[in-house]
Amino acid sequence: MTLDPKLLEILACPEDKGPLLWFADEDALYNPRLQRRYAVRDGIPVMLVDEAEQVDDAEHDRLTALAAAEGIQPTFGD
């Protein structure tokens, strides 16, 4: 699934207001600072803290390595 590039430019974590990493192949937005993954369902980001998934250290390492390997950039500049 793809997200509108204009939407990606403004998407932020609802908790810390920081940028996210968009993993299109996994339909997920990820906040590496809080180790929190937000689902994207039917092309709509579910930006609810209560519905976000807290990931463990191994999954965090996998996601950050994948982002680095694939050149995934934050939704906006830090």
Overall size of the chain counted in residues: 78
The mean predicted confidence, pLDDT, of the chain is 96
CATH of the domain at 38: 2.20.25.10
Three-state secondary-structure class, residue 21: strand
- Give yes or no for residue 78 having a pLDDT over 60: no
18 token code pair: 């920081």
Q: Give the domain extent around 47.
A: 5-70
- Name the residue with tokens 């937005």: 29
How far apart are the C-alpha atoms of 3 and 6, rounded to whole Å? 8
Is residue 77 in a domain?
no
Q: What is the pTM of this model?
A: 0.93
* H or E element, residue 76: none
Give the pLDDT score at 77.
78
Q: Contact, 11 vs 45, CB < 8 A?
A: yes
Tell me the per-residue pLDDT of 33-61, one tens digit each, with 9 for 90 and over: 999 999 999 999 999 999 999 999 999 99
- Number of domains observed in the structure of the chain: 1
